[in-house]
């Protein structure tokens, strides 16, 4: 029964006013719960939703594995990958090219550096699908450290790393070598300060930065002399 100081009809007016304001808490929870089920169903049946939303005549890629072609070190490599696979994982896990190292997996350390179309990139931050052959796009030229010595002879950059003691554990070395190669291809006459700035995206836990920088300057001289 209503309280003594509560006017008659106050509950009714409160109820009507709350309905005017919108949903009450119980109705809100019930609605959110139903929406959550719908969203979950959409996630679980993502492939069906993609097909339903795709424009007529367009092909849906994924979520299952598909066959793609990657041009690596001058050779076409056919491989079956899920669309979410990074270029680094494709190289290491599907093509047995393990020179590029998986360390931070966040595009920070540079250990996975390779070259795509002549530019140094973090292969952990690029999807393999983005550099695979596909209609309407030029073929991406992928070069890994395995491709720097096709005839068994060290590239000038690799040789300079050895001569200048630019590595210790060697885990970061392939990424450094590829970053140095890409840099020297576009900057054949670098200064020490320029090299120091250019290699800021590669980290070495052993701290061999002095040797690396000297190696780049040494390699620049030998590359101009025709060794690479």
Do 72 and 42 fall within a single domain?
no
> Residue 188: its pLDDT value, please?
95
Do 82 and 134 fall within a single domain?
yes
> What tens digit of pLDDT does each residue of 137-178 get?
788 999 999 999 877 789 999 999 999 999 999 999 999 999
* 64 contacts: CB under 8 Å, gap ≥ 6: 47, 82
Do 78 and 130 fall within a single domain?
yes
Structural domain count, the chain:
3
Segments forming the whole domain that contains residue 132: 66-103+123-144
Do 138 and 95 fall within a single domain?
yes
| Domain assignment present for 85 | yes
| Domain assignment present for 96 | yes
Contact 160, 177 (CB under 8 A): no
d(CA 178, CA 174): 6
Segment 193-212 mean pLDDT: 95
* Token pair 């530019």: residue: 119
Do 35 and 82 fall within a single domain?
no
179 has a pLDDT exceeding 80: yes
36 has a pLDDT exceeding 50: no
Segment 7-24 mean pLDDT: 52
What are the start-end ranges of the H helices in 45-136?
46-53, 87-89
49 has a pLDDT exceeding 60: no
> Residue 151: its pLDDT value, please?
77
> Residue 223: its pLDDT value, please?
87
What CATH number is attached to the domain comprising 185? 1.10.150.120
> What tens digit of pLDDT does each residue of 86-96 get?
999 999 999 99
pTM of the model: 0.71
Pairing of strands 75-81, 113-116: unpaired
Do 19 and 79 fall within a single domain?
no
| Domain assignment present for 70 | yes
| Domain assignment present for 57 | no
């Amino acid at each position: 029964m209503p309280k003594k100081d509560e006017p008659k009809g106050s509950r009714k007016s409160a109820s009507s006013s709350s309905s005017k304001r919108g949903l009450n808490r119980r109705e809100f929870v019930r609605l959110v719960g139903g929406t959550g089920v719908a969203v979950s169903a959409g996630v679980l049946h993502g492939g069906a939703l993609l097909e339903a939303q795709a424009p007529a005549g367009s092909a849906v890629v994924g979520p299952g594995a598909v066959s793609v072609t990657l041009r690596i070190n001058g050779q076409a490599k056919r491989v079956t990958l899920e669309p979410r696979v990074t270029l680094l994982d494709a190289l290491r896990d599907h093509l047995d090219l393990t020179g590029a190292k998986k360390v931070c997996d966040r595009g920070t350390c540079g250990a996975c550096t390779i070259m795509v179309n002549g530019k140094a990139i973090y292969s952990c931050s690029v999807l393999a699908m983005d550099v695979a052959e596909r209609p309407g796009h030029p073929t991406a030229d992928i070069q890994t450290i395995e491709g720097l010595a096709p005839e068994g002879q060290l590239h000038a950059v690799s040789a300079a790393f050895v001569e200048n003691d630019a590595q210790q554990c060697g885990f970061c070395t392939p990424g450094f070598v590829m970053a140095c190669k890409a840099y020297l291809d576009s900057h054949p006459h670098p200064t020490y300060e320029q090299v120091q700035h250019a290699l800021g995206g590669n980290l070495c836990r052993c701290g061999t930065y002095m040797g690396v920088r000297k190696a780049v300057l040494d390699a620049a001289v030998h590359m101009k002399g025709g060794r690479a």
